[in-house]
A and B are shown apart, each in its own frame.
Chain A
Amino acid sequence: MQENNISTGNFEQCQKCSLCETVCPVMANNPDYGGPKRSGPDGQRYRLKNGIFYDDSLKYCLNCKRCEVACPSGVRIADLIQQARIEFSQKSPKLRDVMLASTDQMGPLASAVAPIVNFSLGLAPVKGLLDFTIGLDHRRTLPKYSSETFVHWFNKNAASRQDSYKKHISYFHGCYANYNYPQLAKDFVAVMNAFGYGVHLIEGERCCGVAKIANGMIPAATRDAKANMSAFSKSLVKGRDIITVSTTCTMTLLEEYPELLKVDNSGIKEHISLVEPFLYKAIESGELKPVWKEGWKARAAYHCPCHQERLGLGIFTTELLKMIPGLELTELESNCCGIAGTYGFKKENFKVSQMIGKKLFDDIASAAPEFVACECETCKWQIEMSTGVPVKNPVSILAEALDLEKTSELNCR
């Protein structure tokens, strides 16, 4: 009897139509990559027989999951590829990969000496040295660190008043909002408070682990996943749902934990929501009442991050943004920006990363918006570096467009 007669990731449903190949951003730009069909379901047939059929070119996969969105047969192509990398790759992560992936270890170190880090990472000789020694591409603008983390700010300035609200949520801030861009988290607190929700941190929150998965650090990612699930359970006991702001963190918590890390999230998953669907549903049902600033006007173009599209949640963001009376919103054609988390930071990927993003950059240039609206932090780095157009998270747009005082008066009674 055949031992492996189980269709992992639904791969036996593949009918070889090649639709996935027409949407793969890497295949169009990197001839060394075999493409999703070959790397995913086709390769899986061979790998099931023997691991020697594993092909190292699978590392070129961005894990953008556009192939899964396109597949008419429900094959989890990107999951198959990531699973194969986890199972068969013999390469251990390089020092650079460990540094890029350990966002929650590097964050506290860099934040402690943020001015020095930010200054020196902007210097050409330092970037040249990092390129030469560890392979961090010198053309890449490196993310800035904040000298005060969000958590520190929150505990000092906001934590004490949160219990006074009638409704409560737990906030999974993630590494980016904590170490790199606390303003986003502050905007989140301001918006949620205005709508009458007390915001609470999750005790023992860890990095979601997505960068570790992408860089082959599976045991470390699994530890993060387990720690998060037990931290989340404690939050749920208090009756507080978990609200997230980062698209990719959310996809990791919801989908990658059970699929790739085999960490069970049932019973918890149902209580995790991205902020845009959460607010949209509550506003549409009339539970929350926004008051918009009079005369506020802006012209934005919306870029839907790949993972937002994979989750099927982009629609909540566009519908939420369309509620803002002063916002003129155009939707950009769905294309990958090319950075894919830590992928675009690596010397060997920089060129392909920029080639992939070119269509999107050109579209942004011709739309010429005041800013790009986008939920994803790494898309933000890539788009700002490559186009010079600022990128704002929808939460920050809400914080600007809402009359927070009047909204609060209406919703906090």
Chain B
Amino acid sequence: MRFDVVIIGGGLAGTRAATELQKSGLKCILVAEGLSLNNCPKNEFKAAGGTVLQGDRVVSGVFEGNRLIRVFTEKLGNEPLEAGQFVLATGKYFSRGLVADMDKVYEPVFNLDIEYDSDRLTWFDPSFAAPQRFLEFGVKTSGGVALKGGVPIVNLFPAGEVLSGVSSAQGDATEQILNSAREAVRAIRRN
């Protein structure tokens, strides 16, 4: 299936980006797992003519040079979703946008470059209420696009909590998440 933009993840950032992109005339599909996609923003996106792939998960992607060209999902099997631009808004650990092993943190779909500290003992503060460093970890960007093996993927725009430095545990998180979504939208419109 071919679209202008595939938005991966249906939380705050994903739905915001999807709705704005769809409204600017691009044909969008939102791949949203579980309840991370709430009904209200989902309906706004649908009303704008967008397509929602509910309860599914992107499992892998195919790159051509420094571009992502198609992704595969669990339920669609070998039927790919192809697009010119991609938004990655898969969140942090709970939604499996990031996975933490004993010795590393990684991004499980595309294996993008992650900002984190290799010394596990520095990840957390034993005091529960203290700011936790692991919540700051996330995908590295350069000029708004994701990096893979140090190379910028020119059409893959991370947004929301999957980003390094963006965390809902912080006071101004909602604004930060929405701003990152709007930045991705602006960049895609320019592209």
Contact = CB atoms under 8 A, between A and B. Distances in A.
A358 to B, nearest CB: 16
A318 B1 CA distance: 12
A368 interface: no
A333 B1 contact: no
Given A72-B95, A319-B51, A312 B56 contact: yes
A312 B34 contact: no
B51 A311 contact: no
Interface in B55-97: 55-56, 73-76, 79, 94-96
Interface residues of B, number: 26
B39 interface: yes
Interface size class of A (residues with CB under 8 A): 20 to 34
Contacts of A318: 51
B132 interface: no
A312 B53 contact: yes
A72 B96 contact: yes
B1 A284 contact: yes
A234 interface: no
B55 A69 contact: yes
Given A315-B51, A319-B51, A69 B34 contact: yes
B43 interface: yes
Contacts of A281: 79
Interface in A299-356: 309-315, 318-319, 330-331, 333-334
A303 to B, nearest CB: 13
Nearest to A23: B35
Interface string B155-173: 0000000000000000000
Given A281-B79, A330-B47, 15 more contacts: A17-B94, A19-B34, A19-B35, A68-B55, A69-B34, A69-B54, A69-B55, A70-B55, A71-B34, A72-B33, A311-B75, A312-B53, A312-B56, A315-B53, A334-B54
Interface of A: 17, 19, 22-23, 68-72, 277, 281, 284, 309-315, 318-319, 330-331, 333-334
